[in-house]
Amino acid sequence: MTDEEILQLLYEQTLVGNAPAVTGGVNDGLEQGIPPERMLYDALIPSLEEVGARFERGDYFVPEMLIAARAMQGALDILRPLLAETGNTGVGTFLMGTVKGDVHDIGKNLCNIMLEGAGFTVIDLGVNVAPERFIEQIEAHEPDVVGFSAFLTTTMPMFKANINALEKAGLRDRVIVMVGGAPVTQEYADAVGADGYSADASSAVKKAKELIELRRSRVPA
Amino acid sequence: MSRYETVLRSRTREVVIGGSGPFCVIGERINPTGRKLFAEELRSGDLSRVGADAVTQVAAGADMLDVNAGIPLVDEPQLLQAMLRAAQDAVEAPICIDSSVVEALEAGLSVYEGKALVNSVTAEDDRLELILPLVARHGAAVVGLANDETGIPATAHERLRHVRKIVAAAADFGIGPEDVVIDPLAMTVGADTEAVTVTLETISLIASELGVNMCLGASNVSFGLPQRHALNAAFLPMAMAAGLTSAIMSTAEVCVQAVRAADLLLGHDPWGASWIAAHRARVAAEQTAAQQAPAAAP
Ligand code: B12
């Protein structure tokens, strides 16, 4: 297969969530010397963006999105160490978790994938993460950004609880706080005192970069 | 068939969940979650849709109505009270007061006239200690969710453990098993192929071990999938056969008909009396409609 054909295959098979074909394609691509970042930016990320767009339009349904994200995740597992080698990192560190009482992780995982694709080092704490755990992990990793994900109106108040915990631990000024999840709005993010909100994974990447730059320009190194 | 009868009341009407009677259909519509326009109306103090939705759902076959006021950044206790007043004025069906905020449940119970179903408590110690006394004080019944602070258990047996804890805690506060309605937790098959299988196993296990009444959010099974009503309508009879006695559900015709058909098939509608009566009512309504529009197509 030509390089173009492999990239096409990666795009198409991610779109339909065929994980074995995607893993196979990535391995074939590496064998014939396609740069990892080329596979990521020219095939995998565009494919997942298309998945997101189709879901938004109502053309794609939850199971389709889940398996596409899994296929992408499989590819990233292979590519991650190689991307680190080629120096495609250093944009910043992003610590992410779904808040306490909430187990929705599809949206958060999509954000993680896109953030990693964009060069962030992502530390994922998983779901149902208590404020104490966030604090402990922020102290351990000193991330640039911490992201709280919530999908239930009943768990959204955990944003405030987490931010209060950050304040109490004296960490609030040391980390940028971003929030997201289906029921979250900019208005709500402002009300709880978060630094940033975004409605989807690609704008989450943009927003995170923007906030980090803003902060670096303010805080003298 | 459940071992207990859970009796709920409005100002004027009584509804029984369980025993040998028919399935209790609880209309799900009066809930701002995922309904942008409704949420905006409620936020601005316009409650007109509450009464309208109440009437429509009862006309479509709802025995009870769920009322939920969960909008971020609103005064939920106050809004829930207003919505309950509007619903009670519009229809006679008893109400399931739905909130995860204890103050809202308390405010709701204080304006409810009758015996309400309080939705819900979980197996978490602090929730049990806050909500059960409230339920007992108002002589209400309560929905108990089979999960705790660690999340929703993946297996039927783990869920049963939570259920036993809730039933025992309720008894400590003087609430008998007839007034505890367990939610065995339904989740979307779109995110997990085994989700509905686990729910059905949980229903069977709770029915055989404890025999308490059960109620779940039936539409959850079809979240994120196309043709939701068809999926809900297939799920409900399966769950009823396993022992489910009520559901917070869509009152779309296919869903209500599936439930009433399953009532008959499972022996909860002796001699098909309700099924046949519903048929006659439909035929009569069609005839009246035809007479009123004689010029319409043949
Ligand atoms: C799949 C799903 C589930 C699955 C979750 C599986 C999983 N592994 O995640 C399961 C079955 C477990 C589940 C369970 C429940 N669910 Co559910 N679920 C959904 C569903 C169908 C899809 C959610 C989803 O993943 N969407 C896809 C992603 C891609 O969504 P997205 O919002 O576009 O994601 C983007 C943004 O949000 C953003 N983003 C996300 N996180 C973050 C974080 C940051 C920092 C940033 C910047 C951005 C960001 O980027 C994402 C990518 O572009 C929704 C319905 C819906 N239409 O949303 C209900 C829904 C969220 N669930 C709901 C409910 C009620 C429940 C249950 C309580 C049901 C029950 N009776 O048991 C339980 C609760 C479990 C718990 N304690 O958390 C309700 C929530 C109501 C509310 N507002 O409170 C919803 C809205 C359904 C509804 N209409 O009622 N659910």
B198-212 residue pLDDT tens? 999 999 999 999 999
| A105 C-alpha to ligand 1 centroid (Å) | 8
Does residue B83 belong to any structural domain of this protein? yes
Q: How many residues does chain B have?
A: 298
Name the residue facing A62 among B100, B150, B224 (closest C-beta).
Answer: B224
Strand B14-18 relative to strand B5-9: parallel, antiparallel, unpaired?
antiparallel
Does residue B137 belong to any structural domain of this protein? yes
- What is the separation, in whole angstroms, between the first and last Cα of chain A? 48
- Give the total number of structural domains in chain B: 1
Going by the DSSP 8-state scheme, the letter that residue B4 receives in this structure is -
B79 contacts on A by Cβ (under 8 Å):
none
The pLDDT of residue A218 is 82
Average pLDDT, chain B: 95
The pTM of the full predicted model, rounded to 2 decimals, is 0.87
Q: Is the distance from CB of B8 to CB of B138 less than 8 angstroms?
A: no
Instruction: Identify the band that residue A83 occupies on the pLDDT scale cut at 50, 70 and 90.
Output: confident
**Residue in A32, A105, A36, A29 with CA at minimum distance from that of residue A69:** A105
H or E segment to which residue A214 belongs: helix A201-218
**Is the per-residue pLDDT at B298 higher than 80?**
no
- Which whole number is the average pLDDT over A192-207? 93
**Residue in B12, B15, B11, B14 with CA at minimum distance from that of residue B213:** B15
Does residue B72 belong to any structural domain of this protein? yes
**A90 in B contact zone (CB under 8 Å):** no
Cβ–ligand 1 contact at A102 (below 6 Å):
yes
Instruction: Report the amino acid identity of residue B12.
Output: T
Helices (H), A42-178: 45-57, 62-85, 106-117, 131-141, 157-168
**CA A197: distance to chain centroid?**
13
Q: What is the ipTM of this complex?
A: 0.81
Cβ–ligand 1 contact at A97 (below 6 Å):
no
Ligand 1 atom with the shortest distance to the CA of A200: 53
**Residue in B196, B201, B177, B178 with CA at minimum distance from that of residue B186:** B196
**Residue in A99, A118, A105 with CA at minimum distance from that of residue A41:** A118
Task: State the Cα–Cα distance between residues B133 and A192, nearest whole angstrom.
Answer: 32
CATH of the domain at B209: 3.20.20.20
Q: Provide φ and ψ at B160, rounded to 5°.
A: -60, -35
Q: What is the pLDDT of residues B235-280, one digit of tens each?
A: 999 999 999 999 999 999 999 999 999 999 999 999 999 999 999 9
CB contact under 8 A, A103 and B226: no
**Is the per-residue pLDDT at B168 higher than 90?**
yes
Does residue B225 belong to any structural domain of this protein? yes
Task: State the Cα–Cα distance between residues A150 and A160, nearest whole angstrom.
Answer: 12
Q: How many CA atoms lie within 13 A of B248 on its CB side?
A: 27
The single residue listed with the structure tokens 């539409």 is: B219
A156 contacts on B by Cβ (under 8 Å):
72
Task: State the Cα–Cα distance between residues B167 and B178, nearest whole angstrom.
Answer: 10
Q: Is the distance from CB of B66 to CB of B28 less than 8 angstroms?
A: yes
Instruction: Identify the band that residue B152 occupies on the pLDDT scale cut at 50, 70 and 90.
Output: confident
Task: State the Cα–Cα distance between residues B234 and B242, nearest whole angstrom.
Answer: 13
Does residue B297 belong to any structural domain of this protein? no
Supply the angle between the helices A3-15 and A19-31 in degrees, to the nearest 10.
160
Q: Provide φ and ψ at B209, rounded to 5°.
A: -80, -40
Domains and CATH numbers, chain A: 3-85 (1.10.1240.10), 92-218 (3.40.50.280)
Task: State the Cα–Cα distance between residues B203 and B243, nearest whole angstrom.
Answer: 6
- Cis preceding-peptide flag for B208 (omega within 30 of 0): no
| A149 C-alpha to ligand 1 centroid (Å) | 10
Does residue B298 belong to any structural domain of this protein? no
Does residue B94 belong to any structural domain of this protein? yes
Whole domain around residue B264: which residue ranges? Answer: 5-292
